[in-house]
Amino acid sequence: MALGVKWPGPPNQRRRCFLGLAPDDIVQSMNASWIVANMEWVLIVCGALTATMLFPMIAPRLAFKQMFGEVAEGPLGELLTRNWGQMIFATGLLLIYAAYHEEARLPILVFASFTKLTFATLVLLNGGRYARKLAMPVAVGDLSMVGLFVWYLLAVS
């Protein structure tokens, strides 16, 4: 049984819940084996996409203008933008590392999920301001990645 879910009683006497499915049927329908079998590639792709955020470190004004439609002005804005880009780039490298080092996946996935969820939440809370900017599809992409990470963590727990 996936995720170690056990329903009390013999299989023919299991109680049914949502849409007539037993809890272990719902877990089986998640196809947990797919995410476990393909997590290496998922991490490589997600890590590579995340690592593209090195761009703000190289060209902070242009990156913010494209992403948010505005620029963080002055030396402090440039410093924070470059640092932000470097941290996201490092998160991408960590995701790629986790693809090859299964023992490191849990802390890396928790960290990456937290940072991606934070960014997505902030963008969505300011949705009207960034609805037509590049920040919105990036936030949706980050939420998709978090969904994959959570799916994997549930499948291996």
Residue 122 pLDDT: 93
Q: pLDDT below 70 — which residues of the chain?
A: 1-31
- Return the closest-CA partner of residue 66 out of 129, 119, 134: 134
d(CA 44, CA 97): 8
pLDDT in tens, 43-71: 999 999 999 989 988 998 998 899 888 88
Every domain of the chain and the residues it spans = 21-156
Residue 31 pLDDT: 65
Residue 20 pLDDT: 53
pLDDT in tens, 87-97: 999 999 999 99
Residue 98 pLDDT: 98
Query: Is the dihedral angle over the CA atoms 21, 22, 25, 27 positive or is it negative?
Result: positive
For residues 90 and 96, is the Cβ–Cβ distance under 8 A?
no
